[in-house]
Amino acid sequence: MTVVPAGGRAPGRAARRAYGVIVMATTTRARRATIRPCAQPTVFVLFGATGDLARRMVLPAFMTLALERLLPDDWVLIGNGRGDLTHEDFRDHVREALDKFGPHPDKRAWRDFERRLLFAGHGFDKHDPGRLLDVIGEARERVGDDAQLVHYLAVPPVTFAGITEALGAHGLAEGARVVYEKPFGTSPASFRTLNRTVRSVLDEEQVYRIDHFLGKEATQNLHVLRFANELFGAAWHRDHIESVQIDVPETLGITDRAAFYDATGAVLDMLVTHLFQVAAEVTMEPPASLGATDLQAAREKVIRSFRPLDPAEVVLGQFTGYRDEPGVAARSRTDTFVAARLWIDNPRWRGVPFLLRTGKRLAVSEERVSLVLRTPHGPFGELPGQANVISFSLSGSGEIDVRLLAKKPGVELYVEPADARLPLAQLPDAAPLPPYVRLIHDILLGDRSLFTRPDGLSAVWKVAQPLLDNRPRPQPYPQGSWGPPQARRLAAPRKWLVGQ
């Protein structure tokens, strides 16, 4: 295996072929088989179509699917909102979003895309459907009455229940697929209420609770590397792993999401959603298959072994200047940073600390999972800690890094750390898809493998309950720093790997 020093040049094609012997490509044959166009005509209703999430993620993902020819021949996307936009106004809005966030279609691709965009204004609730029923009728005249109906709720969580009830009241729920953004609820009580509402209107097979971290190429590679490679799978145990770090610092602030973020914060926006789900991907037992039922069951089973958080092992922070952001309350105590120590009470992971960290306005942007192996005892005497690490960059197309100790060439026997790096996008014939593209494609195909289940979410809320009941006061931290200094003690006697 080629050893690449940190910051070194990526391996060439021959080296990448060699890497392929050691680790499987991101997509197994079972998953690769799903990378195909959706054949069934589809009417896609996007609630919150003019909001920030739709602009940054959902609309660009849909354009990418169109450019990759992964949409059916017959489809229509209907934007929904309280405003009274014309179809042409909405098309201009979508074009502006693509100009800013990409992708950038040529004129021919855009003309084909924009003619499929419609807008249904005047809101939507159980008492008044606004223009949505009429516009869905117009869409079905274009693509056929048998079109699959997909509702995507890119709206604040407090509106989920009302829209769900309205779908049932206006006959738009039967046979439809309904996508809920995270967080699914904002507290244990609101989760239970929302779940009851959803179950009263929809069957579980219709529900897609999206967490885009599960759609990342490298997140999927967490279990591929482990279950397809005995070299790594044999070490995936408390006997060999000292600690695990899941670290997602961000340089970004809250942009124009102040209303959402000030009511949510880092704990709800990131910890009980993305970071807990990634922890489950790392720690699940081998599933019986890669099918949706078995993957979901393995993920949810290990979440039930997560020990409830101890507030004494959690540090919250708020970056200086946060309260000056437009739309943020003058005395807001919303957390923009969270670091936590999580424990898993099962035979495989008992006693292994999981260090989770994320925050806004930090020193760098990174998305990394690091498994720190135990320091061996042998003829070399005392060796440095955290020198044997398997880590995954979840950013972009993903990357797998292995840090090990090697002899430094020369007469003397000096042991030095060295990094072996596998950029996943450079694997032969790699065809990575951004996470929202991957997940929306799976929704169109009806594949629920990478979506969460209510039993797992119920367990997540139980894990978070002690923290939500007894939240530490957020500590101030300078923008561009690594958060409150109190977070360092969570990693003691070691240190956080990202940024050190």
Per-residue pLDDT tens over the stretch 286-318: 999 888 889 999 999 999 999 999 999 999 999
- Adjacent-strand bridge partners of 187: none
pLDDT per 10-residue tile (average), the chain, 500 residues: 36 34 38 61 97 94 96 97 94 97 96 98 96 98 96 94 98 97 90 96 96 87 86 93 97 86 93 95 92 90 97 98 93 97 98 98 96 81 80 88 86 83 81 90 94 93 96 97 96 87
pLDDT at 2: 34
Cβ–Cβ under 8 Å, residues 490 and 324: no
In tens, the pLDDT along 198-235 reads 999 999 999 999 999 999 888 888 878 888 999 889 99
Measured between alpha carbons, how far is residue 131 from residues 50, 135, 160, 192, 488 in Å? 16, 6, 19, 31, 53
Q: What is the DSSP string of 435-494?
A: HHHHHHHHHHHT--TTSB-HHHHHHHHHHHHHHHHSPPPPEEE-TTB-S-GGGHHHHTTS
Q: Which residue numbers are catalytic?
A: 274
Same fold: 13-27+213-491 with 40-209: no
Domain boundary assignment for the chain: 13-27+213-491, 40-209
CATH class of this structure's domain 13-27+213-491: alpha beta
DSSP character at residue 163 = H
pLDDT at 35: 59
The CATH architecture that domain 40-209 belongs to is 3-Layer(aba) Sandwich (3.40)
CB neighbour class for 425 (10 Å; exposed up to 12, middle 13-18, buried from 19): middle
Q: Which residues are part of a known binding site for NADP(+)?
A: 48-55, 82, 182
pLDDT at 256: 76
Q: Which residues are part of a known binding site for substrate?
A: 212, 216, 250, 269, 360
Cβ–Cβ under 8 Å, residues 48 and 154: yes
Task: Output 227-230 pairs: Cβ under 8 A, ≥24 positions apart.
Answer: 227/286, 228/23, 228/24, 228/28, 229/22, 229/23, 229/24
Residue 190: its H or E element: helix 188-201
Q: Which residues are part of a known binding site?
A: 48-55, 82, 182, 212, 216, 250, 269, 360
What is the SS3 assignment for 353?
Answer: coil
| R_g of the chain, CA atoms, integer Å | 23
pLDDT at 43: 98
Q: Against a cut of 0.95, is the pTM above it? A: no
pLDDT at 380: 67
Question: How many angstroms separate the CA atoms of 354 and 463, rounded?
Answer: 14
In tens, the pLDDT along 230-256 reads 988 999 999 999 999 999 999 999 987
Cβ–Cβ under 8 Å, residues 79 and 46: yes
pLDDT at 378: 65
